[in-house]
Amino acid sequence: MRSVCLYFQVHQPFRLRTYRFFDIGADHYYYDDYQNKRIARRIATNCYLPANEVLLGLINEYGSAFKVTFSISGTALEQFKKYTPEVIESFKRLAKTGNVEFLAETYSHSMAGLIDPAEFKRQVKEHDAAIKELFDYTPTAFRNTELVYSNSIAGQVLEMGYKIMLTEGAKQLLGWKSPNFVYFSASHPRLKLLLRNYQLSDDMTFRFSQQEWSEWPLTAEKFVKWLNHVDKKQELVNLFMDYETFGEHQKADAGIFGFLRAFPEQLIKTRNWVFRTASEVSGDNQPVAGIDCPHPISWADEERDLTAWLGNDLQNEAFSSLYKVSETMANCTDADLHRDWNYLQTSDHLYYMCTKWFSDGDVHQYFNPYGTPYEAFLNYMNVLSDFLIRVKEYAENQAEVPVEPLPEVATPGKKPITLKSKGTVK
Amino acid sequence: MFGWEFPPHITGGLGTACFGLTKGLLKHGVDVQFVVPKAYGDESQEAVRIINASDVTVMMNDPIFRDYWSQITYMEIGSNLIPYVGPEDFQEMVKENLNTSVQEGSRVFSEKFQFSGKYGHDLMEEVARYALVGASIAANSEFDIIHAHDWLTYSAGVAAKKISGKPLVVHMHATEFDRSGENYNENVYEIERKGMAEADRVITVSNLTRNIVIDRYHIDPDKVITVHNAVEPPEKTELIDAEKHVKEKIVTFLGRITFQKGPEYFIEAAQKVLERDPNVRFVMAGTGDLMEKMIRRVAKLKISSHFHFTGFLKGENVDRMFAMSDVYVMPSVSEPFGISPLEAMRSNVPVVISKQSGVAEVLDHVMKVDFWDVDAMADAIYGLLHYKSLNDMVVTGGTEEVNNLKWESAARKVVDIYESLL
């Protein structure tokens, strides 16, 4: 039996409202509630709810032969709780079947792993706790934001206790090798790696409704045939994708839900394949080779690198400015600041500032609420300026040592004057 | 080619554009015969700038221009035609200056062409007379294509076409709606419409203008082609000594202070920036019918100490103004193209432009805002002044971008249009 590992990314950012420089210091609420609510509801209706229904139907029908894997970011979970509680309920029903694995990741879909190991760890913990609370599930496998991976990240992930990580089957990693095996990290051999088969994954996610594609229309029969043509020695196929593929990027009327239902059915009926979760395929199969990755990769664009998020001076300035306060934020107990710290780390904000779309574009445009990367940067930096001021004020307040008023007459023998400090004294 | 002004005697972007285009055309081996009505008399500042003969001499002797002038025939027609002046204003001016104008103009005019004509008493008569000149030139010269720039010359273009039977291309640098908003002059509109209807091809300087031509003049879309303007590479390589005598950052508006240039939005944005950051100075360079109103508005907002009016700037002073600027803003309400941001970018100044400008169609590395959105405009100005990486990227990207907007390429498109007609 060979395995297919179907993994879906679910994520929503808290989009920022139009925040002008004259709001700095005057207004500390940064989010476009209307847009966030509108988009969350739209995608719930178009994608999350109907797609979950299809998956639930398949699980009910095929039992243990059909399993799937999800990652749901903390910010997405918060939005569901706030705007579309029925999505949470729907995921809970899926979780209850026992055929669903939830992955660990950063709470706010951040790039913290590239810059701040302590914050990276904190966010993963916060996300684990959220998954545990909602779905009574403890993640054991890890996926990083946008499948960003490197030797250094492998070390951090292993240290947090995860033995399995998902990433992109990028050409620069694999060379001539096939993504259809389990690998391990060359720098940290105890970490198993599952690599995305981008050819087959992208057939579904990008090309499904492209009429100029020579294989259009993509039918379940065709897709099953392709899977059957995969070399018999290859043990698994990792189909990793954005969950919004279903009903949002590929529209319902293009037949994507029919496809999502039909291709697993037909594949299971061949009796050569089963659907397994990420942890199961890693357990079932021996890793075949080590993968060395000195420079970070991701699943984005042709380059499969970080340039969509950290590819120009705007993005680098925004990114480094934000993490300058990570030390203060590590011990911050202020709920509002903590929320903003999480939300502002969401990598989508950096993505909006990508200037690659001047040449490489449609996908970037699709996700972008801003007209130009310059507008995105401007708005983010205004928000960030306000946030940084607040963090600074917070740190100063913490550092202040409130001294109890001295008694008017200091009588010796009375209890000693105590110095109180809320936080670290600098 | 029928035009109305030519460097260095220019009152707006049209002369610059005609000059750039003809230079580009020469590179593609096109011989250009340029006909310009020449206003005589001292009726206005604007007119003086057109006719300063000593400057023409300087130009002729300049080696840079010698090649250029040897290849094109330049004709001046005695005429009172003045760009950017509506028929009503024109009438006023003619009344004031009738005597001197007639005398001097007639002499030049009658020497060159056997017209005994007197100057018309209104602009429409003048346009009609210019058309007769056009017809006369058409009858007496050899050429393959007639190319007319903006409405004042359309009648001449049409007349030339009728006499010669040669194809006519009309070039829309601005429409009556851009100049006058909804209070447009129907006679002007009619001349524009007729010119475009009679023309074999209509060139528009942006898709914005193309849409106006199609929607409001009902011209067949198939014959309307956009050729975006370009910008000349800097003639001087040495940097202008831009000694700033103030330590504050300088934000500049440069253009005619008229309704369509949106000066009041610049002032409102300035006020918002100054509220937050007093270390900025705003400069409004240019003149126009709204200037006094703008000065009053600035005074009312109590920002006069940080807001300066320079009056009309020309030549080197324009370059110096750009060199001193930290941000350039073009808040035009309606701008068929808008060449000044390109000049600012060439001087490494980051620019904020309105989305209602044709030039926005060809630029990526600029801040684009709606002209009415003064919050966004203020925000863009503030961002360019305070966020270094933004400023750096806009400047670097912008310079590269503007260097790739060559008149040679624009002229190539025009040549293609010519060839499609031959």
Domain boundaries, chain B: 13-230+406-421, 249-403
Give Cα B263 distance to the centre of its chain.
Answer: 17
Has residue B117 got a pLDDT over 60? no
ipTM metric: 0.81
pLDDT in tens, A137-188: 999 999 999 999 999 999 999 999 999 999 999 999 999 999 999 999 999 9
pLDDT of residue A408: 58
DSSP string, B107-175: HHHHHHS---PPPPSSHHHHHHHHHHHHHHHHHHS--S-EEEESGGGHHHHHHHHHHH---EEEEES--
Has residue B90 got a pLDDT over 70? no
In this complex, the residue of B275, B392, B397 whose CB is nearest that of residue A22 is B275
Res. B70 pLDDT band, cuts 50 70 90: very low
Has residue A362 got a pLDDT over 90? no
Interface of B with A in 261-280 (CB under 8 A): 272, 275-276
pLDDT of residue A49: 98
CA B167 – CA B422 distance, rounded (Å): 8
Is the pTM above the cut of 0.95?
no
- Looking at domain A2-291, which CATH architecture does it have? Alpha-Beta Barrel (3.20)
Has residue B174 got a pLDDT over 70? yes
Has residue A66 got a pLDDT over 80? yes
pLDDT of residue A372: 87
What is the average pLDDT value for chain A, to the nearest integer? Answer: 92
Q: Does B370 touch chain A (CB under 8 A)?
A: no
pLDDT of residue B159: 85
pLDDT in tens, A250-269: 999 999 999 999 999 999 99
pLDDT of residue B3: 78
Nearest residue of B to residue A382, measured between CA atoms: B383
DSSP string, A55-66: HHHHHHHHGGG-
CA B131 – CA B125 distance, rounded (Å): 10
Question: Could you tell me the residue ranges of all domains in chain A?
Answer: 2-291, 307-398
Q: Which of A78, A101, A119, A146 is catalytic?
A: A146
Topology given in CATH for the domain delimited by B13-230+406-421? Rossmann fold (3.40.50)
Has residue B176 got a pLDDT over 50? yes
Contact by Cβ (8 Å): A187, A154: yes
DSSP character at residue A406: P
Res. A323 pLDDT band, cuts 50 70 90: very high
CA B243 – CA B254 distance, rounded (Å): 19
Contact by Cβ (8 Å): A261, A113: no
Top residue of A16, A21, A317 to mutate, by most chain B CBs within 10 Å, is A21
Res. B71 pLDDT band, cuts 50 70 90: very low
According to CATH, the superfamily of the domain at B249-403 is Glycogen Phosphorylase B; (3.40.50.2000)
Q: Do domains B13-230+406-421 and B249-403 have the same CATH topology?
A: yes
pLDDT in tens, B214-264: 999 999 999 999 999 998 776 654 555 556 677 899 999 999 899 889 999
Has residue B201 got a pLDDT over 60? yes
Residue with tokens 């698994």: A236
Bond prior to B8 in cis (omega within 30° of 0): yes
Q: Does A265 touch chain B (CB under 8 A)?
A: no
> Which chain A residues contact residue B388 at CB under 8 A?
317
Residue with tokens 């903006």: B150
* Cα-based distances in Å from B92 to A159, A304, B122: 86, 68, 9
Q: What is the mean pLDDT of residues A270-290?
A: 94
